[in-house]
Amino acid sequence: MTKGERFIFHVASTHANARFVADFSGVDGLELFRTTSLVLKDASTANIIEVPEANFAFKVVSQLEYQPPSEEMRRMVNGWVVRVHTAAGAESKAFLSDVSDSGAGILSPTSFQRGEQVVLHVDADDKGLELAAEVRYSVRSKIAPDMYKSGLKFSEFGRLEGAVWRNFLKAA
C-alpha cells in the first residue's frame, strides 16, 4: 500500500452497515506480514499469511453512508484447524477464518461448489462438533492464491450443537 492510495470500506454490524471512502496515511511497524508454508497430512502444501498486530491509519474522504444490516456480525478467529466432509465422502482440512451465529468462513486447499452440502467438524473444548452446512461461495483467496475462501451457512442444528457452538463463539 502506498500513501494516498484510496480504499472503500464496508463495515457491518448487527444494527447497521456503513460505507465510506478513505485514503491510506501510513502504518506503524516495518514488518507487515509473514508467509508460512505448511505441509498437510495428505502431502499437499498451503501458504498461510500472518499479519502481526499493526496500526493502519486512514483519512476518511467521503460521507458515511448508512444502510440496514445485510448479514450477521462475524468474528475473526485464528489458528483453528477444522475438517470438511462432502456428501461424496471426500475430506479436506481447512482453517477457520471467521464465525457467526449461523455460519463460518474457511480457508482450504479445496474449492467447493455453491450449494454443495458439507459437514464441518470442529474440535473445541475436548468436544467434537459436527455441523451440516451449505456452501454459499468458494473463491480463490487473494492473500493465499493456492487456497480457497469459502462461506458456509449452517443448516438447523439441535439444542446441544447450538449450545456448544454458542460457547465456541463466546471464546472466539
Cα(73)–Cα(169) distance, rounded to whole angstroms? 11
Q: What is the CATH number that goes with domain 75-171? A: 2.40.10.220
Cα(154)–Cα(62) distance, rounded to whole angstroms? 36
Q: Under a CB-based contact definition with an 8 Å cutoff, are residues 67 and 60 in contact?
A: no
* Non-local CB neighbours of 64 within 8 Å, separated by 6+ positions: 18, 19, 20
The string over 136-159, giving b where at least 16 C-beta atoms fall within 10 Å of a residue's C-beta and e elsewhere, is: eebeebeebeebbbbbbebeebee
- pLDDT recorded at residue 54: 72
Cα(138)–Cα(158) distance, rounded to whole angstroms? 26
pTM more than 0.85? no
- pLDDT recorded at residue 6: 92
Q: Under a CB-based contact definition with an 8 Å cutoff, are residues 126 and 166 in contact?
A: no
Report the 10 Å Cβ neighbour count for 9: 13
Residue found under cell 445485510: 70
Q: Average pLDDT per run of 10 along the chain, which is 172 residues long? A: 88 81 82 65 70 80 84 72 91 89 90 94 75 93 86 84 77 68
**Region at 87 (left for phi over 0; alpha for psi -120 to 50; beta for the rest):** alpha
Task: Indicate the domain borders of the chain.
Answer: 6-67, 75-171
The string over 89-98, giving b where at least 16 C-beta atoms fall within 10 Å of a residue's C-beta and e elsewhere, is: eeebbbbbbb
- pLDDT recorded at residue 83: 92
Instruction: List residues bridging with 132 in a β-sheet.
Output: 119
